[in-house]
Amino acid sequence: MPAIAVAAVVGVLFFLGYRYYSVYLADRIYGLDPAFVTPAHQFSDGVDFVPTNKHVVFGHHFTSVAGAAPIVGPAIAVFWGWGPALAWIVLGTIFAAGVHDFGSLAVSLRHRAKNIGTIAHDVISKRARTLFLLIIFFLLTLVNAVFAVVIATLFVANPGAVIPIVVEIPIAIFIGQYIYRTRTAALVPSLIGVLALYLLIWVGQQVPIDLAPVAEVFGIEARTLWVILLFAYTFVASRLPVWLLLQPRDYINSHQLFIALGVIGLGMLVGWNTIVAPVVNDVPAGSPSIFPFLFITIACGAISGFHSLVSSGTTAKQVDKETDARYIGYMGAVGEGSLATGAVLAATAGVVATRADWDALYPDFATASGGAVGNFVNGVGVFANNLGVPLDLAVIFAAVVVISFAATTMDTGVRLQRYIVQEIAEIAGWHKLARNLTLAGVVAVAVPLAMALIPGGGDAGYTFGVLWRLFGTTNQLTAGLALTVIAVWILRMKRNPIPAVVPLVFLLTMTTWALFSQFWDFVQAETWSERWVLAPLDAIIFVLAIWLIVEAVMALRGGAGRRTYDEMGSPVGDDTRTPTS
């Protein structure tokens, strides 16, 4: 089947979801009211609280939620066949992510733009705030660990990508300084930055950087050395002002996002690549089962709890009319689902021409996990090749795009992790850790570094696959917490909570099932890393999942009805602004 036809069908389904289901949610479940005075108007200060055109807010929201993560999960999950992967992406986007992203925004708007963690404290229990911080801590730990492994693996597989990625850092700083000091326009310099990056792809191809000889001196693998270097870099980068490195590099990367999306779409159309992977793959015995593992392997792209942090943070402070939340929240979920669809198609139609070639890339789950990002990169390379770019350059181009986004993810991830460390330290009374940025930064880097270096990775990427699944569970738990908050709020509004409760129950079932199943595998494993690192980590996340289920059941049974609401759906007696304002 032509990949472009599948993309068109998915596009139609997403359109129907937005056209009908999101309207149902807006009118009947969230009760959006165009006359409601949003926090942006209520607290308008021109800095954080700014009533803003919905297209402006969507532009910001979409770039905050769409990136590298929805690429990796789908590229692994096609191991079970493209049918189940795509079905979960489509159904998850329409009935879970749409409800979650849109709902987080709607609830935050009715709670003076407070974030989900703070609202959970208000509507579920005081303990929910601690639970929120712990879940996010593990989410960010695993995000940083898996993306370090992704980048390191791509650097080893594509040594031609090293020079463009490394040189992009001083280029971005130079462009940022130039724009800042001369107060000049940003567009042309940033486009020059993109051109320089692509010129460096050619340089990188001529001068590939292989760290294997250096790593050998230290008696470690090249990938291990890359992981260490990456965390050393992110420790420094996360201490720099956002505007110095992150903003100019993000700006250059944002051009790359549009270029890459164009290349994927046009390349698919021009090449008319057909999907060679099976609809449902007959996986070898001993592989992880489709239930529950598909549903935690694809988190971002089907439903991602991280979106609730963006919806209820910056976005909620800018919404002009409450009815705009449908477009911003639901379409943000659809945008990420579209990226995930592109990843599925790149890994099933772009990467190879025959079924036998595909089977060689996905013979077992470990190989599928370890090679997933490389498969996506090669698939996009083929799409770019359809447009006339030489294949070897096209593959490096795709690798540069993915690494750029993954590197940005790490930069920001380590920075966010430092905030979480400070928050947890403050609650625990460890004031020295809470107020010492360097110390908090060391903790933020050391924990994911240790995770990324767990032995057993090798070429098969076994540890990466496991870490990715654990990351998926923490992301789904974050979504579960947000859906609990949404469901409780809907109940208190005396509306039908089913649209939030169904994805909540499904996610918590899949998550706890997967954690329980993995735990026994780890305990019975032969390697010390599985028994003494992954098993305890799995157990801790399992405890958090059970804790969340208990909180959700108690809250949904009305046990946490401390807060009363006015007829507009806002909590009564709370005139405080959000704590971050």
Partner 1 sequence: MSVNVVLVRPWTDAHGGTGCCSGDAPDGICLEGRVDGPREHDAEVGLVAETYLRLRAELPDVDVQIVGVNNTAYLLPTVFRAVRRRRGTMAALRELNRATTAGSVLVDGERVGDVTELGPARVVEEVRGRARPLAG
Q: Which of 4, 134, 136, 510 binds partner 1 (CB under 8 A)?
A: 136
Which residues does 111 contact at the CB level (< 8 Å), separation at least 6? 118, 119, 122, 570, 571, 574
409 touches partner 1 by CB under 8 A: yes
Q: State how far Cα 286 lies from the chain centre.
A: 28
Q: Which of 168, 324, 336, 551 binds partner 1 (CB under 8 A)?
A: 336
Shorter beta-carbon distance to partner 1: residue 314 or 527: 314
Shorter beta-carbon distance to partner 1: residue 200 or 407: 407
Q: Which of residues 47-76 bind partner 1 (CB under 8 A)?
A: 47-48, 50, 52-53, 55-56, 58-60, 62-70
Own/partner pairs, 220-225, CB within 8 angstroms, 24+ separation: 222/152, 222/155, 222/156, 223/149, 223/152, 223/153, 223/155, 223/156, 223/457, 224/152, 224/453
265 touches partner 1 by CB under 8 A: no
Cα separation, 106 vs 31, whole angstroms: 9
Q: How far is the CB of 146 from partner 1 (least distance, A)?
A: 10
Q: State how far Cα 363 lies from the chain centre.
A: 27
Q: Which of residues 345-404 bind partner 1 (CB under 8 A)?
A: none
Q: Which of 426, 505, 525, 547 binds partner 1 (CB under 8 A)?
A: 426
Q: Which stretch binds partner 1 (CB under 8 A): 22-30, 114-122, 496-504, 519-527?
A: 114-122
DSSP for 392-454 reads HHHHHHHHHHHHHHHHHHHHHHHHHHHHHHHHHHHHHT-HHHHH-HHHHHHHHHHHHHHHHT-
DSSP for 31-90 reads ---TTS--HHHHT--SSS---B-HHHHHHHHHHHH-SSHHHHHHHHHGGG-HHHHHHHHH
Q: Which of 92, 413, 497, 503 binds partner 1 (CB under 8 A)?
A: 413
Shorter beta-carbon distance to partner 1: residue 51 or 381: 51
Q: Which of 250, 324, 530, 551 binds partner 1 (CB under 8 A)?
A: 250
Q: Which stretch binds partner 1 (CB under 8 A): 17-25, 139-147, 261-269, 458-466?
A: 139-147
204 touches partner 1 by CB under 8 A: no
Shorter beta-carbon distance to partner 1: residue 281 or 315: 315
Helix orientation angle between 69-77 and 331-345, rounded to the nearest 10 degrees: 50
Look up residue 162 and give its amino acid: V
570 touches partner 1 by CB under 8 A: no
β-pair partners for 319: 52
Q: Which of residues 458-477 bind partner 1 (CB under 8 A)?
A: 475
Shorter beta-carbon distance to partner 1: residue 136 or 393: 136
Q: How far is the CB of 8 from partner 1 (least distance, A)?
A: 22
Q: How many residues does the chain have?
A: 581
Cα separation, 226 vs 368, whole angstroms: 22
Phi, psi (rounded to 5 degrees) for 319? -75, 125
Q: How far is the CB of 191 from partner 1 (least distance, A)?
A: 9
Shorter beta-carbon distance to partner 1: residue 281 or 404: 404
Cα separation, 346 vs 549, whole angstroms: 37
Q: Which of residues 494-553 bind partner 1 (CB under 8 A)?
A: none
Q: Which of 34, 206, 217, 258 binds partner 1 (CB under 8 A)?
A: 258
Q: How far is the CB of 403 from partner 1 (least distance, A)?
A: 13
Q: How far is the CB of 498 from partner 1 (least distance, A)?
A: 26
Q: Which of 131, 140, 296, 443 binds partner 1 (CB under 8 A)?
A: 140
579 touches partner 1 by CB under 8 A: yes
Could you tell me which of 453, 433, 454, 455 has the C-alpha nearest to residue 444? 433
> Which two three-digit tokens encode residue 191?
């486009």
Q: How far is the CB of 430 from partner 1 (least distance, A)?
A: 14
Q: Which of residues 307-326 bind partner 1 (CB under 8 A)?
A: 307-314, 317
Cα separation, 231 vs 414, whole angstroms: 9
297 touches partner 1 by CB under 8 A: no
Are the CB atoms for 179 and 244 separated by under 8 Å? no
405 touches partner 1 by CB under 8 A: yes
Q: How far is the CB of 474 from partner 1 (least distance, A)?
A: 9
Q: Which of 34, 241, 388, 573 binds partner 1 (CB under 8 A)?
A: 241
Look-up of token digits 């030489």: 390
Q: Please give the C-alpha separations between residue 43 and each of 316, 320, 392, 564, 581, in angstroms, as whole numbers.
A: 12, 12, 54, 22, 10
410 touches partner 1 by CB under 8 A: yes
Look up residue 356 and give its amino acid: A
Look up residue 404 and give its amino acid: S
Q: How far is the CB of 52 from partner 1 (least distance, A)?
A: 6
* Per-residue binding letters, 159-198, with partner 1 (x by CB under 8 A): -----------------x--xx--xxxxxx----------
- How many beta carbons lie within 10 A of that of residue 169, not counting itself? 15
Are the CB atoms for 500 and 483 separated by under 8 Å? yes
Q: Which stretch binds partner 1 (CB under 8 A): 87-95, 117-125, 203-211, 532-540?
A: 117-125
Q: How far is the CB of 311 from partner 1 (least distance, A)?
A: 8
Shorter beta-carbon distance to partner 1: residue 281 or 311: 311
Q: Which stretch binds partner 1 (CB under 8 A): 112-120, 201-209, 369-377, 543-551?
A: 112-120
